C-alpha cells in the first residue's frame, strides 16, 4: 500500500463521511481550501473543496478498505488494483485446515467472470486470514448464493486414508486442487485457474495432467491478493470451522484449531476419554502432535 491515498469524491458525501469519522473518535480541524480535516492516532483525512480526498498515516488501510471504498467509492481499486484491471473469467482455488491437527482439510474453488469479480470486491472479499470467523461465515453465504463453487471436505477418517495412499501432504493437496478445478471446469466450461502456490509448480500441474485436463494454470505466492482465490479461501475456511465445530459437538469436547499447547491438552483429554483408536476420527495422525501425545 502507498504512503498516501488520493481520490476524487462528490462533496455531497462530506457530511456522511464526517458523521462516520465522528462516531469513530476522529478530531476535526480546519485548513485552507478544505471542507474539513480529521485525525486520530495513525491516520489523517482531508476532504478539499475540489472533492479531492487525501488519507495518510500508517493505520489508514482499515479506514479505506472497510469504509471509504465500500461505502463512499463503491470500488476497491486501492485494495485490489491488479484485480480491477484483470476481469478475466477464472477459477480460484485455496485450502484450509492443512496446518490444524484437529478437523478436516477443506479445498474450495470459486468461478467468477467480470461481473462476479465486481461482486466479490463490493462485498469485501479478501484473504480469509484477515477476516474474523464471523465475517467469513457471512461472506461465504453470499458467495455460495451468487457464484459457482465447489468444496472438498476431507474429515480426518478420509484424510488419513488418503494421506496413507499419497504419503505426502503436497501430493494430497495437488490431487485436491486438481479435483476441484476439474469439477468447476466441467460446471462452467472455464479453462483458466489461479491457485495460491503451496509447493513446486509441478505438483498441481502433474495432478491436472493425470486427469487429462487442459487448464491454463497460474500459481503465485500470496495468491489471495486475487479476489477469486480470496473467495475460495473464505469458503475453505468456513467449511473448516464448521467441520471442527461439528466434530467438537459429536464428541462433546472442544477441539482447538491449530497445533498449539491447547491442542496438546485437548488431545490428552480426548485420548483419556475415547482412547487412541478413536483419534484418527478427529485428527490428522501424521502430525508430530500425535507423537507428543
The pLDDT assigned to 4 comes to: 87
Using CB atoms within 10 A of its CB, is residue 32 exposed (0-12), middle (13-18) or buried (19+)? exposed
- Higher pLDDT pick, 198 / 42: 42
Quick one: CA torsion of 242, 130, 232, 257, rounded to 10 degrees? -30
Report percent pLDDT > 90 for the chain: 78
Does the pLDDT of residue 246 top 50, yes or no? Answer: yes
Each residue's pLDDT tens digit, 59-71: 999 899 889 988 8
pLDDT at 220: 83
Domains 4-79 and 86-245 share a fold: no
Domain ranges of the chain: 4-79, 86-245
Phi, psi of 264 (to 5 degrees): -60, -45
Q: Is the pLDDT of residue 26 over 90?
A: yes
- Helices 114-122 and 227-251, interaxial angle, to 10°? 60
**Alpha carbon distance 206, 275 (integer Å):** 39
The pLDDT of residue 256: 96
How far, in Å, CA of 159 to CA of 165, rounded? 10
Which one is predicted more confidently, 98 or 122? Answer: 98
pLDDT mean over 88-105: 96
- The residue with greater pLDDT, 289 or 180, is 180
pLDDT reading at 1 higher than 50? no
As a CATH number, domain 4-79 is 3.30.310.10
Q: What is the pLDDT of residue 191?
A: 97
pTM above 0.85, yes or no: no
Which pLDDT score, from 0 to 100, does residue 82 have?
54
The mean pLDDT of 113-142, rounded to a whole number, is: 89
The CATH topology of domain 86-245 is: Nucleotidyltransferase; domain 5 (3.30.420)
C-alpha cell at 43: 491516520
**What pLDDT sits at residue 80?**
66
Most confident of 141-145, 197-201, 225-229, 287-291: 141-145
Q: Is the pLDDT at 27 greater than 70, yes or no?
A: yes
Question: What pLDDT sits at residue 254?
Answer: 96
Q: In whole angstroms, what is the distance from residue 75 CA to residue 69 CA?
A: 6
Look at 73-82, 138-147, 177-186, 204-213 and tell me which has the smallest mean pLDDT: 73-82
Q: What is the residue-averaged pLDDT of the chain?
A: 92
Q: Which pLDDT score is estimated for 34?
A: 96
Q: Does residue 85 carry a pLDDT above 80?
A: no
Amino acid at each position: 500500500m502507498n504512503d498516501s491515498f488520493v481520490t476524487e469524491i462528490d462533496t455531497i458525501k462530506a457530511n456522511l463521511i464526517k458523521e462516520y469519522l465522528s462516531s469513530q473518535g476522529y478530531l476535526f480541524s480546519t485548513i485552507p481550501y478544505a471542507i474539513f480535516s480529521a485525525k486520530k492516532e495513525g491516520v489523517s483525512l482531508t476532504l478539499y473543496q475540489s472533492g479531492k480526498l487525501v488519507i495518510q498515516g500508517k493505520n489508514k488501510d482499515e479506514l479505506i478498505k472497510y469504509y471509504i471504498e465500500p461505502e463512499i467509492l463503491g470500488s476497491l481499486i486501492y485494495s485490489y488494483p491488479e484485480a480491477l484491471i484483470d476481469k478475466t473469467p477464472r477459477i480460484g482455488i485455496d485450502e484450509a485446515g492443512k496446518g490444524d491437527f484437529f478437523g478436516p482439510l477443506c479445498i474450495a474453488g470459486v468461478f467468477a467472470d467480470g461481473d462476479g469479480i465486481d461482486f466479490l470486491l463490493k462485498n469485501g472479499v479478501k484473504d480469509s486470514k484477515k477476516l474474523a470467523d464471523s465475517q467469513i461465515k457471512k461472506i461465504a453465504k453470499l458467495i455460495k448464493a451468487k457464484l459457482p463453487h465447489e468444496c472438498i471436505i476431507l474429515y480426518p477418517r478420509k484424510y488419513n486414508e488418503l494421506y496413507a495412499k499419497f504419503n505426502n501432504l503436497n501430493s494430497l493437496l495437488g490431487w485436491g486442487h486438481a479435483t476441484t478445478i476439474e469439477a468447476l471446469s466441467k460446471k462452467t466450461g472455464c479453462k483458466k485457474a489461479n491457485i495460491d502456490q503451496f509447493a513446486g509448480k509441478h505438483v498441481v500441474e502433474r495432478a491436472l495432467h493425470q486427469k487429462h485436463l487442459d487448464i491454463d494454470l497460474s500459481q503465485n505466492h500470496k495468491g489471495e491478493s486475487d479476489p477469486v482465490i480470496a473467495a475460495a479461501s473464505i469458503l475453505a475456511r468456513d467449511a473448516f470451522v464448521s467441520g471442527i465445530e461439528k466434530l467438537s459437538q459429536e464428541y462433546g469436547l472442544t477441539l482447538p484449531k491449530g497445533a498449539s499447547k491447547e491442542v496438546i491438552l485437548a488431545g490428552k483429554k480426548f485420548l483419556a476419554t475415547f482412547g487412541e483408536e478413536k483419534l484418527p476420527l478427529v485428527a490428522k495422525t501424521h502430525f508430530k502432535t500425535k507423537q507428543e501425545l
